[in-house]
Amino acid sequence: MKKAIFISCFLAASYSVFSHTYKEDFDYSIVFGGCFEKDIVSLKINNTSIFSEYKVENKNAVKKGNLSLTQAKTKIHLYYNGQQKIKGRVNFSYYLNIDVKVNNRTDKFKVDLRKGKVLLIENCQAQDSLQKKKKTTIEQLQDQVILL
């Protein structure tokens, strides 16, 4: 009898643990990473303005988080210099058309979110450039970034 109770408890516990599917609570996150030196930044996603002319200071690549945003199911949480703003969500399928304007220079990116939902945007000096010309890049990650 004890064995039957043990087995039924084991099966019930297994069912409750493995029957739930993992549900992510965000659509995508964008983090403005290193190499921003008091740059004036604007962002559009799918032709929707998210913010305009924010000053970003993030020279140290370790200290990411001066400017970031996360789109949840119903809204966008925008974090800027320790404050949070709420914006309406942006409609999309699997792709985002991202326009990043840094100091009056606009770069356009098309991102497939199936390759990663976390986007790191950096504005670092181009490696192949002899001048101090900066290049805006986007890197996609599968896991969320823990900000320091």
Phi-psi region of 38 (alpha: psi -120 to 50; beta: other; left: phi over 0): left
Is there a domain that residue 79 lies in? Answer: yes
The CATH code of the domain that includes 90 is: 2.60.34
Is there a domain that residue 109 lies in? Answer: yes
Is there a domain that residue 148 lies in? Answer: no
Domain ranges, residue 119: 23-141
Is there a domain that residue 11 lies in? Answer: no
State residue 14's pLDDT score. Answer: 44
Helix (H) or strand (E) segment spanning residue 33: none
Q: Where are the alpha helices (DSSP H) in the chain?
A: 2-18
The pTM (predicted TM-score) of the whole model is 0.75
Q: What is the pLDDT of residues 63-118, one digit of tens each?
A: 545 899 999 989 999 999 889 999 999 999 999 999 999 999 999 999 999 999 99
Q: How far is CA 11 from the centre of its chain?
A: 39
Is there a domain that residue 73 lies in? Answer: yes
Residue 11 has pLDDT above 60, yes or no: no
State residue 16's pLDDT score. Answer: 42
Number of domains in the chain: 1
